[in-house]
């Protein structure tokens, strides 16, 4: 075997090795994307369940038994009210502010959800309002080991 | 002697290269099958999620009588004016027996059926788990044993759907699987 033939053989094997390594890398990425997609589908379902639950509650602690016509009559800051330490005792939307919960699935493990509630301007719900308004934005962030990024969903609830 | 070593060496290296190519080819085929199965299972799950959203959120809509007619761990029958024509419809979701899917490689897959009014049941999806959990207004789980009573069923405010969809055929040594769950609180039950 001449030196040229040896070099050509080594070059061929190297090329084949690079091709295989490149394929295995892209195959790994494909698997990651697939699991991430699955985690997004599941995480979204979990967040939507929480939105459903929150939407079923009164808009504010001060609207649980009576109505309010002036935003200044609403609670000053979102959060749990006295005696509402358990989720089953939450009776209005902002009781869920700073609440966190875990849902565990067999395959993808724990989905951790953090909830935050803010007053927002009805005309610009992306921006938090420092004054009381008749609109609250509920932000839910979902994290899971298989999610490549935090899943964040928001919903505005109006009175 | 030198040329014999060359020939033997060529055979050894050539054989290794051929084996590498065969293994590579098999791996590509397996990955391709796995990707297809995963996409298929994820697509089915997303479609089922849409179907559940469409029907379950409407439970009790324009249904003056009993809203949930039957409820257990893997089947439910409810009343709702699904097509908004002023007449309440009944919809039933239930699982078929595993024996219906005995021709597939997966031993656990079952047909999930949907039956509208008295029409023949239609296939909603093929699943390996369809589990329903019922919650009352305090978010407490309602025991299945009491759900035979109409007054207990009228306490249902939330329904958690646990769905597991696996591929019908193995990909490598496992069945690609997607799990999905959602707690639905139909507005007309609140």
Statement: residue B155 has pLDDT above 90: yes
Residue of A15, A49, A113, A144 to mutate when probing chain B, most B C-beta within 10 A: A49
Q: How many angstroms away from the CA of B8 is the closest CA of chain A?
A: 12
Question: Under an 8 A CB cutoff, do B179 and A53 touch?
Answer: no
What pLDDT does residue A34 have?
86
Across the interface, do A53 and B183 touch by the CB < 8 Å criterion?
yes
Q: What is the pLDDT along chain A (159 residues), one digit of tens a residue?
A: 578 888 888 888 888 888 888 988 888 888 888 889 889 989 999 999 999 889 888 999 889 888 888 888 898 877 887 878 888 888 899 899 999 999 998 889 999 999 999 999 988 899 899 889 999 999 999 999 999 999 999 999 988
Domain ranges of chain B: 12-189
Task: Flag whether pLDDT at B161 surpasses 90.
Answer: yes
Q: How far apart are CA A107 and CA A113, in angstroms?
A: 17
How much is the average pLDDT of B139-160? Answer: 94
* Residues of chain A positioned with their CB less than 8 A from the CB of B184: 49, 52
Q: If pLDDT is split at 50, 70 and 90, which confidence band does B1 have?
A: low
Least confident of A36-40, A43-47, B14-18, B96-100: B14-18
Give B17's contacts in chain A (Cβ within 8 Å).
12-13, 16
> Which of A70-79, B52-61, B175-184: highest mean pLDDT?
B52-61
B46 vs A: CB within 8 A: yes
> Which DSSP helix (H) or strand (E) runs through A110?
strand A109-121
Query: How far off is chain B from A40, nearest CA to CA, in Å?
Result: 10
The pLDDT value recorded for residue A118 is 92
**Contacting residues of B for A49, CB less than 8 Å apart:** 160, 181-184
- CA distances in angstroms from B142 to A119, A132, B38, B106, listed in the order given: 35, 38, 34, 32
A30 contacts on B by Cβ (under 8 Å):
31, 35
Other C-beta atoms lying within 10 Å of the C-beta of residue B165: 27
Which of A51, A80, A32, A57 has the alpha carbon at shortest distance from A142? A51
Least confident of B42-56, B80-94, B146-160, B170-184: B170-184
Mutate to test the interface with A, among B14, B139, B156 (most CBs of A within 10 A): B139
Asked if B19 is an interface residue toward chain A (Cβ–Cβ < 8 A), one would say: no
Report the DSSP pairing between strands B75-80 and B89-95: antiparallel
Model confidence band, residue B75 (pLDDT cutoffs 50, 70, 90): very high
> Which of A11, A18, A42, A108 should we substitute to test contact with B (largest number of B Cβ atoms within 10 Å)?
A42
The rounded distance, in Å, linking the Cα atoms of B11 and B25 is: 21
By the 10 Å C-beta count (0-12 exposed, 13-18 middle, 19+ buried), B153 is classed as buried
Give the up-direction half-sphere exposure of residue B54: CA atoms within 13 A in the CB hemisphere.
13
Q: Rounded to whole angstroms, how far apart are CA atoms A92 and A79?
A: 9
pLDDT class for B67, splitting at 50, 70, 90? very high
| Poorest-pLDDT segment among A89-98, B58-67, B72-81, B152-161 | A89-98
Q: What is the pLDDT of residue B184?
A: 92
pLDDT at position A27, please?
86
Q: What is the pLDDT of residue B95?
A: 96
Q: Is the pLDDT of residue B76 over 80?
A: yes
Q: Which residue has the higher pLDDT, B105 or A84?
A: B105
Query: Are the beta carbons of A30 and B35 separated by less than 8 Å?
Result: yes
Residue B186: closest C-alpha in chain A? A52
Q: How far apart are CA B39 and CA B171, in angstroms?
A: 12
What count of residues does chain A have? Answer: 159
pLDDT for the residue A1? 58
Taking residues B104-116, report their average pLDDT. Answer: 94
Task: Return the sign of the alpha-carbon dihedral for residues A67, A117, A47, A92.
Answer: negative
B68-72 and B75-80 beta bridge pairing = antiparallel
Instruction: Write down the mean pLDDT value for chain B.
Output: 91
């Amino acid at each position: 075997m001449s030196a040229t033939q040896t070099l050509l053989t080594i070059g061929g094997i190297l090329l084949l090795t690079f091709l295989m390594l490149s394929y295995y890398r892209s195959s790994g990425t494909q698997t990651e994307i697939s699991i991430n997609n699955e985690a997004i589908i599941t995480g979204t379902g979990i967040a939507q369940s929480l939105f459903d639950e929150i939407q079923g509650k009164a808009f504010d602690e001060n609207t649980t038994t009576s109505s309010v016509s002036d935003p200044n009559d609403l609670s000053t800051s979102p959060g749990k009210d006295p005696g509402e330490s358990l989720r089953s005792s939450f009776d209005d939307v902002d009781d869920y502010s700073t609440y966190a919960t875990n849902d565990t699935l067999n395959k993808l493990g724990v989905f951790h959800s953090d909830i935050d509630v803010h007053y927002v301007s009805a005309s610009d719900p992306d921006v938090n309002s420092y004054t009381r308004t008749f609109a609250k934005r509920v932000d839910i962030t979902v994290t899971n080991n298989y999610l490549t990024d935090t899943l964040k969903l928001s919903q505005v609830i109006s009175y | 002697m030198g040329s014999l070593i060359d020939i033997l060496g060529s055979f050894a290296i050539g054989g290794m290269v051929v084996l590498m190519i065969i293994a590579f080819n098999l791996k590509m085929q397996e990955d391709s099958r796995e990707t297809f199965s995963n996409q298929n299972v994820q697509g089915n799950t997303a479609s089922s999620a849409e179907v559940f959203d469409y029907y379950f959120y409407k439970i009790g809509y324009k249904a003056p009588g009993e809203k949930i007619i039957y409820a257990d761990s893997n089947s439910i029958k409810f009343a709702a004016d699904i097509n908004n024509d002023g007449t309440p419809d009944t919809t039933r979701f239930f699982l078929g027996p595993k024996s219906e899917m005995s021709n597939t490689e997966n031993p656990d897959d079952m047909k999930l059926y949907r039956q509208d009014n008295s029409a023949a049941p239609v296939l909603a999806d093929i699943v390996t788990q369809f589990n329903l959990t019922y919650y009352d207004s305090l978010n407490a789980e309602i025991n299945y044993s009491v759900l035979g009573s109409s007054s207990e069923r009228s306490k249902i405010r939330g329904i958690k759907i646990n769905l597991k969809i696996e591929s019908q055929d193995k990909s490598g040594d496992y069945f690609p699987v997607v799990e999905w769950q959602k707690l639905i609180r139909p507005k007309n039950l609140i």
